[in-house]
């Protein structure tokens, strides 16, 4: 692993870890590495070691680390006004909202602080819309449909529509009226949809659930049923959106639009910003006082987000994501031919999952040891989320090191205790679509 002289900052990782254990709530399992800074798609730790970052802060650092244009805008705005409050206008909310409306094909935006909060807002908007309709004579609509294997966040509303039992059950009872539909199973969707449904929420590519793309057939049926029953179709694009699949939004590979879409992760290039964007008809259900946020949409963060979207456009990063994604996928498919414990390579653009027949954790540890940052989701899916600025030579370097990781960790990895991923429990047609 390469060592750079620049990074040693006199930080003792062992001491920091001990202090964290003493003072932080026990919510994260972390390796004993302290990262001090990054540049492009590389991160450096307190010992001066260099790592190739194929995780990008879990799909956040789409422009890598310390991108010069982001640094410039953040410095400039930090010297002006970081926060003003939503009691007043600031110069950046309107141009950012306009760009998000143009990118998404929808009409109006609300700014929040995280993905979970964007999801909360989207659920509230769907309920407000349903109540407004009921008030003018429609049937009451309160139910939410979400998908098996979904992940929408950790706040109570977002958790209530998140499927994974280990996240939900310790906090029961959750928000009532939620039902889960089998992944990509059109018949199950049809059976559960009726006029009491207020919204159906779909990740066009499930991220935390193990990188499973939703099929066009499922999406279009959800669209048609939402129209038929007057429900909202919500796309959760917090992980898949804003360029990660090579599309501005992953639903753009289908024919039809959602009514509401949530975004967060890469939006402000590492600063915390979430948003939900809605069609005019739905947005009209909100009026002053019905929803709000102290921090959401401050000037510094909105200026940063505007710069991020502009860089994606000006630097042709959607094309780059498609091209690099294809290179990475084809390298991974070749590796799958060599290592029989790789069950499947799936995903789109630069959100790719390597589904293993063995547990994934030893591979993540081995990757870290060899200077690669990746992670594992759903116990056995290695998830790759590199920055959009990744170059062909970074992909080649990654594939070379990843091959050694696969060879090295295979010996210590136990057979996966949870072999059935969503795509494998879905009907055959849906499985084919998920590839």
Ligand X SMILES: Cc1ncc(COP(=O)(O)O)c(C=O)c1O
Residues at the interface with ligand X (CB under 6 A): 114-116, 119, 151-153, 203, 207-208, 236, 238-239, 264
Question: Scanning the structure block, which residue is given the tokens 């084919």?
Answer: 432
**What CA–CA distances, in Å, run from 201 to 185, 204, 287, 321, 333?**
14, 9, 23, 26, 31
Contact 56, 386 (CB under 8 A): yes
* Nearest approach, Cβ of residue 251 and ligand X (Å): 13
Nearer to ligand X, 331 or 386 (CB): 386
Residue 353: partners with Cβ closer than 8 Å, 6 or more residues away? 210, 211, 212, 344, 345, 346, 347, 377, 381, 382, 383, 384
* Nearest approach, Cβ of residue 359 and ligand X (Å): 21
Nearer to ligand X, 118 or 302 (CB): 118
User: How many CB atoms lie under 10 A from the CB of residue 275?
Assistant: 29
* Nearest approach, Cβ of residue 145 and ligand X (Å): 16
* Nearest approach, Cβ of residue 153 and ligand X (Å): 4
* Nearest approach, Cβ of residue 337 and ligand X (Å): 30
Rg (CA), the chain: 22
Nearer to ligand X, 376 or 406 (CB): 376
Cα 181 to Cα 425: distance, rounded to the nearest angstrom: 12
Cα 133 versus chain centre, distance: 31
Contact 127, 161 (CB under 8 A): no
Nearer to ligand X, 114 or 421 (CB): 114
* Nearest approach, Cβ of residue 114 and ligand X (Å): 4
User: How many CB atoms lie under 10 A from the CB of residue 333?
Assistant: 13
Nearer to ligand X, 116 or 375 (CB): 116
Residue 330: partners with Cβ closer than 8 Å, 6 or more residues away? none
User: How many CB atoms lie under 10 A from the CB of residue 420?
Assistant: 8
Residue nearest to ligand X (CB): 115
Cα 275 to Cα 142: distance, rounded to the nearest angstrom: 23
* Nearest approach, Cβ of residue 166 and ligand X (Å): 15
Cα 85 to Cα 174: distance, rounded to the nearest angstrom: 31
Nearer to ligand X, 77 or 236 (CB): 236
Angle at 145 between CA 141 and CA 146, to 5 degrees: 150
* Nearest approach, Cβ of residue 237 and ligand X (Å): 7
Cα 428 to Cα 435: distance, rounded to the nearest angstrom: 11
How many Å is the maximal CA-CA distance in the chain?
70
Cα 54 to Cα 47: distance, rounded to the nearest angstrom: 20
* Nearest approach, Cβ of residue 133 and ligand X (Å): 26
* Nearest approach, Cβ of residue 150 and ligand X (Å): 8
Nearer to ligand X, 117 or 366 (CB): 117
* Nearest approach, Cβ of residue 116 and ligand X (Å): 3
């Amino acid at each position: 692993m390469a060592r750079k002289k620049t990074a040693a900052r006199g930080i003792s990782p062992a001491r920091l870890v001990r202090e964290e254990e003493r003072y932080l709530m026990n919510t994260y399992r972390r390796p004993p590495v302290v990262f001090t800074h990054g540049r492009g798609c590389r991160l450096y730790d307190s010992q001066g070691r260099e790592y190739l970052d194929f995780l990008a802060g879990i799909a956040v650092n789409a422009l890598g680390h310390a991108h010069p244009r982001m640094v410039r805008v953040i410095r400039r705005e930090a010297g002006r006004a970081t926060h003003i409050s939503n009691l007043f206008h600031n110069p950046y909310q309107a141009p950012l909202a306009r760009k998000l409306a143009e990118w998404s094909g929808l009409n109006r935006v609300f700014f929040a602080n995280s993905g979970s909060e964007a999801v909360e807002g989207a659920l509230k908007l769907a309920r407000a819309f349903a109540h407004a309709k009921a008030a003018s004579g429609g049937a009451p609509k309160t139910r939410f449909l979400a998908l098996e294997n979904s992940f929408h966040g950790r706040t109570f509303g977002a958790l209530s529509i998140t499927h994974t039992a280990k996240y939900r059950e310790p906090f029961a009872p959750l928000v009532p009226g939620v039902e889960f539909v089998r992944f990509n199973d059109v018949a199950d969707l049809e059976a559960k949809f009726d006029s009491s449904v207020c919204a159906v929420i779909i990740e066009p590519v499930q991220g935390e659930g193990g990188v499973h793309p939703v099929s066009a057939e499922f999406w279009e049926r959800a669209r048609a049923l939402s129209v038929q029953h007057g429900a909202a179709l919500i796309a959760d694009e917090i992980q898949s959106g804003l360029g990660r699949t090579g599309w501005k939004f992953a639903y753009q590979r289908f024919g039809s639009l959602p009514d509401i879409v949530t975004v967060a992760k890469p939006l402000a290039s590492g600063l915390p910003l979430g948003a939900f964007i809605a069609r005019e008809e739905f947005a009209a259900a909100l009026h002053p006082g019905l929803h709000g946020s102290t921090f959401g949409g401050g000037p510094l963060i909105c200026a940063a987000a505007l710069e991020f979207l502009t860089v994606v456009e000006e630097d042709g990063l959607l094309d780059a994501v498609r091209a690099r994604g294809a290179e990475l996928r084809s390298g991974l498919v070749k590796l799958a031919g060599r290592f029989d414990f790789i069950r499947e390579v799936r995903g789109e653009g630069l959100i790719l999952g390597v589904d293993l027949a063995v547990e994934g954790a030893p591979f993540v540890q081995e990757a870290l040891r060899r200077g690669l940052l990746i992670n594992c989701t759903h116990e056995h899916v290695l998830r790759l989320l590199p920055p959009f600025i990744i170059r062909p030579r970074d992909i080649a370097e990654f594939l070379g090191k990843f091959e050694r990781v696969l060879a090295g960790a295979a010996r210590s990895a136990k057979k996966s205790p949870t072999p059935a991923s969503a795509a494998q429990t879905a009907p055959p047609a849906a499985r084919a679509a998920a590839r």
